[in-house]
Amino acid sequence: MRMEVVTYSLRNGQFNSNQYYQDAAAFTDEVLKEAKVLLPIVGRFQEYVQNESIEAIRSAEEYTFELLMLGTLWRIYADDAQDISSGWTGIMAYLSRLRQRNQTLKPVADGIRGVLATIFLAPTDRAWSPKASLKHLDQLLQWMEATGDHVQEVRRLHNWSEYWETLSAGQVSGDIEAAIAFARWFEERSLKSLGKYTPNVEQFLQEKHREHRWKEDVVFSARRRVEYHLNMVGAEIMNRSFRADFQQTKHKAVILPACMRYHSKPKCQARSNGLSCECTGCEPKCRVNMLMKLGQKHGFSVHLVPHESSVFSGDAGKQLIGEGVGIVGIACVSNLVSGGWKAKGLGLPPQCVLLDHCGCRKHWHEQGIPTDINFGRLYQIIGITDEKAAENAEKAQGAAAA
Ligand code: SF4
C-alpha cells in the first residue's frame, strides 16, 4: 500500500528513507561549501559575540545557517511584516506566550490568535522585498514573534540585530543583502536536490490550506517548499554541531510526538502522566510501543508527548527528562530546528530524527496518518551497533508499511 503524501515524504516511494539521509548530507556539504562567501560576515559576528560575552561561541556552520535562515525568511515574509502595526504584533506575541504557559487558557488564546493571525499575519504572494535595513529587520522579527512559531529563531536573529546596530547602515545592508542572495541560490538549488522529497507542498497550499483559515496554525501550515528544505539542512547542521556533546551524555532520551501512535485517542490506551503519556502497549504494530521496548533493551528512555512545547517547557521539562541528558527529538520537518535549539538552550544536547512524513490530525490530515521514522537512522544516532536489532526493526518497518 502506497502511503498518502500530505506535503513531504522522506521515502519518496521507496521502502525506507535511507537515500534521503544520504542526499541531505551531501546537499548540506554543498551548501556549506557554497556558503564560504558568508564566512567573513560570520567571522566578524563571532568576534562580536565573544567580545560582548553574548553566549558561548558556536560553530561557524551554525551562524552560517542563521544567515541562510534570515535570507530565506526575509524573501518570504519581510513584505508581510510591513503591513502590521507593532500594537497587533505585541498582542499576538503575548497570546502566544500565554498559550505556552497556561494550558487552561490555551483554547481561548488559540481561538483569538486564529482570527488575528488570519487577518494580520497570513502570508501573501506579493513578489516584493523591503530594503535591507535594520528597521525592516526589526519589523520582520516582530512579525515572527507574533506568529509564535519562531521563538528560537527570533532569539538568535536578535543577537544579529544587536550586532548590526554597531555597524553603519551601508554595512548592515551589505550583510543582509548577502544573506538574501545566498537564500536565492539555496531556494533554486535545494529544489533540485531535495525537491523530490517535498512533492506535494504546493498542492497542499493551493487546495488544502484554506481549511486552516481562522485557525491557530494558519501561518505554521502555510510554510513554503523552501522552508522544508531549509529545515532539512538545518537538522543536518544541528546534528553535526551538537554530536560531540550528545555523545558525552550518560543517558539518552527519545522524545516522540503523539502522531506516531498507531491508534489515536480514545482507542490508544496510553495514560496521561502530566507532561507526557505512558504507553500501555495495547497495539503490537504501534511504533511507539516498538520504541518503548527498544528503549528498555538498549537503555534509553522514551517519552511520548502531546506537543514538544510541553516537554521543553523550562523546569517542567527538566523534571521529566533530567539534567545533562542527550535528547533525540523526533518531529516533522517544520518543527525540528526550533525544537533542537530549545533543547540545547535547556542544557540538553540534542540530535534529531525527522518523521518520514507528516500526518497529524491537528495540522495535516483529517483522519490522521500514523507517522514513522527511519529506525536505522535512530540506531546510528543513539550509537546502537546491534545489527540484529537494526535488521529486526527494518523488517518491522516493512510490515508496518505493507
Ligand atoms: S501501543 Fe501505546 S502509544 Fe500505541 S496505541 Fe497503544 S497505548 Fe497508544
- For the stretch 45-56, pLDDT in tens is 999 999 999 999
Query: What residues contact 328, with CB distance under 8 A and at least 6 apart?
Result: 252, 253, 254, 255, 300, 350, 351, 352, 353, 378, 381, 382
CA distance 237 to 30: 12
- Copy the grid coordinates of residue 313: 517547557
Ligand 1 contact via 261 beta carbon (within 6 Å): yes
Residue 86 CB–ligand 1 contact under 6 Å: no
Asked whether the predicted pLDDT for residue 41 surpasses 90, the reply is: yes
Residue 312: the pLDDT is 62
Unique residue bearing C-alpha cell 528544505: 229
Point out the ligand 1 atom lying closest to the alpha carbon of residue 263. Answer: 5
- Average confidence (pLDDT) over 8-29: 95
Atom of ligand 1 nearest to the CA of 277: 3
Residue 342 has pLDDT above 90, yes or no: no
Q: Ligand 1, atom 1: nearest CA belongs to which residue?
A: 281
Q: Among candidates 250, 236, 237, which has minimal Cα distance to 382?
A: 250
Q: Average pLDDT of the chain?
A: 88
Ligand 1 close to Cβ of residue 281 (< 6 A): yes
Q: Are residues 85 and 169 in contact, defined by beta-carbon separation less than 8 angstroms?
A: no
Q: Does the Cβ of 290 fall within 6 Å of ligand 1?
A: no
DSSP state of 9: B
Q: Which helix (H) or strand (E) holds 278?
A: strand 276-278
d(CA 89, CA 153): 16
Specify the pLDDT at position 349: 93
Question: Phi and psi at residue 304, in whole multiples of 5°?
Answer: -90, 115
pLDDT score at 402: 46
Quote the pLDDT of residue 396. Answer: 59
SS3 content of the chain, % helix, strand, coil (to 5): 60, 5, 30
Please state, in angstroms and rounded to a whole number, the distance separating the CA atoms of residues 339 and 116.
25
* Of 253 and 83, the one with more pLDDT: 253
What share of the chain has pLDDT > 70, as a percent?
Answer: 90
Position 120, amino acid: F
Residue 279 Cβ inside 6 Å of ligand 1? The answer reads: yes
Statement: residue 361 has pLDDT above 90 = no
Interaxial angle between packed helices 151-164 and 333-345, expressed in degrees from 0 to 180 and rounded to the nearest 10: 70
Probe target for ligand 1 pocket from 255, 278, 286, with the most ligand atoms within 8 Å of CB: 286
Roughly how many angstroms between the first and final C-alpha of the chain, as a whole number? 6
At 309, is the pLDDT very low, low, confident or very high (cuts 50, 70, 90)?
Answer: low
Q: What is the pLDDT of residues 206-221, one digit of tens each?
A: 888 888 888 888 888 8
Tell me which of 229 and 274 has the higher pLDDT.
229
The answer, yes or no, to whether residue 313 has pLDDT greater than 80, is: no
Pocket test for ligand 1, best of 289, 302, 371 (most atoms within 8 A of CB): 289
pLDDT at 338 over 50: yes
Nearest CA to ligand 1 atom 2: 279
Angle separating helix axes 60-81 and 225-248, nearest 10 degrees: 150
CA distance 275 to 308: 10
* CA 358 to ligand 1 centroid distance, Å: 18
Most ligand 1 atoms within 8 A of CB, residue of 256, 264, 269, 293 to mutate: 269
If pLDDT is split at 50, 70 and 90, which confidence band does 1 have? low
The residue among 298, 260, 297 whose CA lies nearest residue 277 is: 260
Q: What is the pLDDT of residues 84-107, one digit of tens each?
A: 888 888 888 888 888 777 778 888
Ligand 1 in reach of 288 Cβ (< 6 A): yes
**Mean pLDDT, rounded, for 340-351:** 89
Q: Which atom of ligand 1 is nearest to the CA of 269?
A: 7
Q: Do 230 and 327 contact (CB within 8 A), yes or no?
A: no
Which residue's CA is the nearest one to ligand 1's atom 8?
A: 268
- Cβ(282) to ligand 1 under 6 A? yes
* 338 C-beta closer than 6 A to ligand 1: no
pLDDT band at 335 (very low <50, low <70, confident <90, very high): confident
**3-state SS, residue 167:** coil
Q: Average of pLDDT values for 270-284?
A: 84
Long-range contacts for 12-16 (Cβ within 8 Å, ≥24 apart)?
12/196, 12/197, 12/199, 15/397, 15/398, 15/401, 16/374, 16/376, 16/394, 16/397
* Distance, CA of 248 to CA of 117 (rounded, Å): 42
Residue 379's closest CA among 399, 401, 397? 397
Tell how far the Cα of 342 is from the centroid of ligand 1, in angstroms: 27
Question: From ligand 1's centre to the CA of 318, what distance in Å?
Answer: 24
Q: Are 321 and 217 in contact (CB under 8 A)?
A: no
Mutational test site, ligand 1, from 262, 264, 296, 372, max ligand atoms within 8 Å of CB: 262
What is the model's pLDDT at position 364?
A: 80
Tell me what pLDDT residue 400 has. 52
What spacing in Å lies between the alpha carbon of 317 and ligand 1's midpoint?
22
Question: Is the minimum distance from the CB of 175 to ligand 1 under 6 angstroms?
Answer: no
Residue-level pLDDT at 277: 83
